Amino acid sequence: MLSVRSLKRLNLGPLNLDISSGEIIALCGPSGVGKSLLLRAIADLDPNEGNIRLTEIARESMAAHEWRKQVMYVPAHSGWWADVVEPHFESALKSDVVDVLHKLGLESTALGWQVANLSTGERQRLSLARALVLKPKILMLDEPTTGLDGENKAKMELVIRNYAADGAGIIFVTHEPEQATRLSSRRLVLIDGQLKEASS
Amino acid sequence: MTAHYIQLNYIDLAIASVLLLVAGGVSMSLRLGLEKSLGIAALRTVVQLTLVGLVLKILFHMVSPWWTGLAALVMMLLAGREALARQTLKLSRGWSLGIATTSIMIAGTVVTTLALTTAIRPEPWFDPRFAIPLLGMVLGNTLNGVAVGMDRLSATLKREKDAIEARLALGHPRKEAVRPYIQESLRAGLMHIVNSMSAAGLIALPGMMTGQILAGIDPTEAVKYQILIMFLISGSTSLGALIAVVSVSHRLGDDRDRLRLDRFKHNSNG
C-alpha cells in the first residue's frame, strides 16, 4: 500500500520500505539513529527526497496536508494547540471519538480535561485517539506505549492490532524487543541510515 | 488666537541641563552606576539632533524630488536596521533585514505619499519641509510595529513547534496551524498604536501637538494635525506589521506545508 523508494534525508538512506494493508511493522534501533526522522520524512514533515507512493499515487501529486491525513505520524511527544482536550478532536464524529476513547480505557469526560493536567499516559492515549478518528491509511507511531501501565499498554496494543486488521498499515518505533515480537508481523532495524530486516 | 513663538537660546538649554546633572548626582550618591550612560546618552542627543538640524536646514533649501527621495531612502534603511537589531531570533541569509526593510519601505512610502498628495498637499508635494518630518514620525512607529510583530512571531513559532507540527501531522494545512500565532503577533505589533490612540490627550499630550502648541499654533488646529498623524501612523504600522509578519511566516514554511525552523540563524531547530 505504501511504497518508499530511495528515500534520502540528512544522515538517512537512500532506503526502501514497503508497508502493506493489515501489516504491523516494528521499527527498532539504537537511540539517536534517526527512527523518528525516518517517519517524519515519510510524512513529509522535513525536507527529503525520494519516490514515495500510497496505493500507486505519488506523494508530490497530493497537497501536503492531504498526504498527511492518509500517512499519519504520531510523535512520541504530543503537541497540543488548545487548553482543553475537546478542540483537538473537532473535525471527527463525536460517536467515533467516544468509541475510540472507550477502547483506550478513557471515559468521554476526558474531552473536558485541561491539557496542562494530563499525565504522560493520558497524553499518549489521547494523541493516538485523535489520529485514529481521522482514519489514516498508514499510521506511523513513535514509541506509542511509553508512560503506560501494563493494563493500558495491553489495551493500546489491542487497538493498534484491530486497526491494522481493518486494513490499515502500521509502523511503530519501540525499544522493547518483547513488544516488537508481540505486536508486529515484521521487524526492521535502522542502523547507519539503512533499514535491515531483523531475523527473529 | 495669536500666540507668539518664544525662541530658545543656548543659555536656556544650559539651565535645563542642570536637571541632568541632578539625575547624575542621584545616580552617584545611590551608586546606581547610571551616570556614565546618562552622560553619553545626553551627549548623543545633543550631537545627533544638532547634526540633524543642520542637515534638515540644508535639505529644506533644496526642494528637489531627488534630495527628498535620497533622505527618505536613508531614513528607511536605518529604520530597517533598527528593526533588525531588536530581533532575538533572526532568519538566516539576511532574510530578517530584508523583510523588515521592505515592509517598512512599502508601508512608509505608501502612507506618507498618500498624506502628502491628498491631505496636506504642500506645493510641490515632495517639499522636504513637510515630507521628511512626516516620514520620520511614520517610520518611528512603523519600525516599532514591524520589530515587535516579527520578534513575537519568531519566538512563538519556535515555542509552539510541537503544537504546530501536531496539527500538520494530523493533516491541517499550515495556514490554519499558524493562523492563531500570526494573529497574536499582529496584536502585539499594533498594541502600542492602539494604546496611544486610546490614551491620546487623556494621559499626556502627544509630542507633536505639544510642539505645535508651544510654537504658537491654535490648539484646535494642532489637534487636527495630531489626529491626521495618528491615523497615518496606525495605517502605516498595520500595513508594515502585516507585511512583515506574513513574510516571516511564509519564510518559516515551504511549499509542502512544513514548519522550517531550520531557517533561523544559528540553527535553533530543537
Residues B53, B165, single domain; the answer is no
Smallest CA–CA distance, residue A112 to chain B, in Å, is: 19
**Closest listed residue to residue B228, CA positions, set B106, B118, B136, B109:** B118
pLDDT for the residue numbered B34: 87
Mean pLDDT by groups of 10 residues along chain A of 200 residues: 93 92 95 94 96 95 96 96 95 92 94 96 95 96 92 95 96 94 94 84
Residues B189, B88, single domain; the answer is yes
- The answer to whether B95 and B244 are in contact (CB under 8 A) is no
- The answer to whether B127 and B255 are in contact (CB under 8 A) is no
Determine, yes or no, domain membership for B130: yes
Cα separation of A61 and B84, whole Å?
39
Residue B266, pLDDT > 80, answer no
Is the CB of B257 less than 8 angstroms away from the CB of A74? Answer: no
Determine, yes or no, domain membership for B270: no
pLDDT for the residue numbered B7: 87
Determine, yes or no, domain membership for B268: no
B270 shares contact with chain A (CB less than 8 Å): no
Q: Which residue of B has its CA nearest to A73?
A: B169
DSSP B34: -
Look at chain B and count its residues.
270
Digit-coded pLDDT (tens) for B226-251: 999 999 999 999 999 999 999 999 99
Q: Which residue of A has its CA nearest to B257?
A: A64
* Nearest by CB: A44 against B163, B256, B260: B256
- The answer to whether B103 and B244 are in contact (CB under 8 A) is yes
Smallest CA–CA distance, residue A52 to chain B, in Å, is: 14
Residues B86, B179, single domain; the answer is yes
Digit-coded pLDDT (tens) for B3-47: 678 888 889 999 999 999 999 999 999 988 888 888 999 999 999
State how far the alpha carbon of B24 is from the alpha carbons of A20, A184, B36, B48, in Å: 77, 75, 8, 21
Is the CB of A66 less than 8 angstroms away from the CB of B169? Answer: no
DSSP string, A156-175: HHHHHHHHHHTT-EEEEE-S
Residues B34, B139, single domain; the answer is no
**Reduced to 3 states, what is the DSSP secondary structure of residue B74?**
helix
| Residue in the block written with cell 512544513 | B258
Torsion angle of the four alpha carbons B164, B169, B170, B175, in this order, in degrees rounded to the nearest 10: 50
Of B61, B80, B100, the residue at which a domain comes to its end is: B61
Digit-coded pLDDT (tens) for B118-174: 988 998 999 999 999 999 999 999 999 999 999 999 999 999 999 999 999 999 999
pLDDT for the residue numbered B68: 92
* Nearest by CB: B171 against A69, A78, A80: A69
Residue B269, pLDDT > 60, answer no
Is the CB of A68 less than 8 angstroms away from the CB of B258? Answer: no
The residues facing B250 across adjacent strands are: none
Residues B17, B97, single domain; the answer is no
Q: Which residue of B has its CA nearest to A67?
A: B171
* Nearest by CB: B170 against A64, A72, A77: A72
Kind and range of the H or E element at A73? strand A71-74
Digit-coded pLDDT (tens) for A130-146: 999 999 999 999 999 99
Of B31, B61, B91, the residue at which a domain comes to its end is: B61
Residues B227, B115, single domain; the answer is yes
Determine, yes or no, domain membership for B186: yes
Is the CB of A68 less than 8 angstroms away from the CB of B170? Answer: yes
**Closest listed residue to residue A41, CA positions, set A142, A136, A126:** A142
Kind and range of the H or E element at A96? helix A94-103
Smallest CA–CA distance, residue A79 to chain B, in Å, is: 4
Residues of A in contact with B182 (CB under 8 A): none
Rg (CA), chain B: 22
* Nearest by CB: A68 against B162, B163, B171: B171
Residues of B in contact with A69 (CB under 8 A): 170-171
Residues B50, B26, single domain; the answer is yes
Of B61, B81, B96, the residue at which a domain comes to its end is: B61
Cα separation of B173 and B176, whole Å?
6
Residues B181, B77, single domain; the answer is yes
Cα separation of B8 and B14, whole Å?
11
pLDDT for the residue numbered A200: 54
If you average pLDDT over residues B96-113, what whole number do you get? 97
pTM attached to this predicted model: 0.88
Determine, yes or no, domain membership for B244: yes
Residues B41, B72, single domain; the answer is no
Is the CB of B164 less than 8 angstroms away from the CB of A43? Answer: no
Q: Which domain holds residue B88?
A: 65-263
B interface test, pick of A60, A61, A81, A135 with most B CB neighbours within 10 Å: A81
Residues of A in contact with B161 (CB under 8 A): 79
Digit-coded pLDDT (tens) for B196-221: 888 888 877 888 888 899 989 999 99
Determine, yes or no, domain membership for B206: yes
A127 shares contact with chain B (CB less than 8 Å): yes
Residue B270: pLDDT band with limits 50, 70, 90? very low
pLDDT for the residue numbered B3: 61
Cα separation of B109 and B103, whole Å?
10
**Reduced to 3 states, what is the DSSP secondary structure of residue A12?**
strand
Domains of chain A, earliest start first: 2-79+133-197 (3.40.50.300)
B160 shares contact with chain A (CB less than 8 Å): yes
Is the CB of B170 less than 8 angstroms away from the CB of A64? Answer: no
Q: What are phi and psi of B171, to 5 degrees?
A: 90, 20
B192-231 residues touching A, CB cutoff 8 A: none
Determine, yes or no, domain membership for B269: no
If you average pLDDT over residues B56-77, what whole number do you get? 93
A47 shares contact with chain B (CB less than 8 Å): yes
Residues B5, B53, single domain; the answer is yes
What is the domain count for chain B? 2
Residues B154, B92, single domain; the answer is yes
Residues B43, B173, single domain; the answer is no
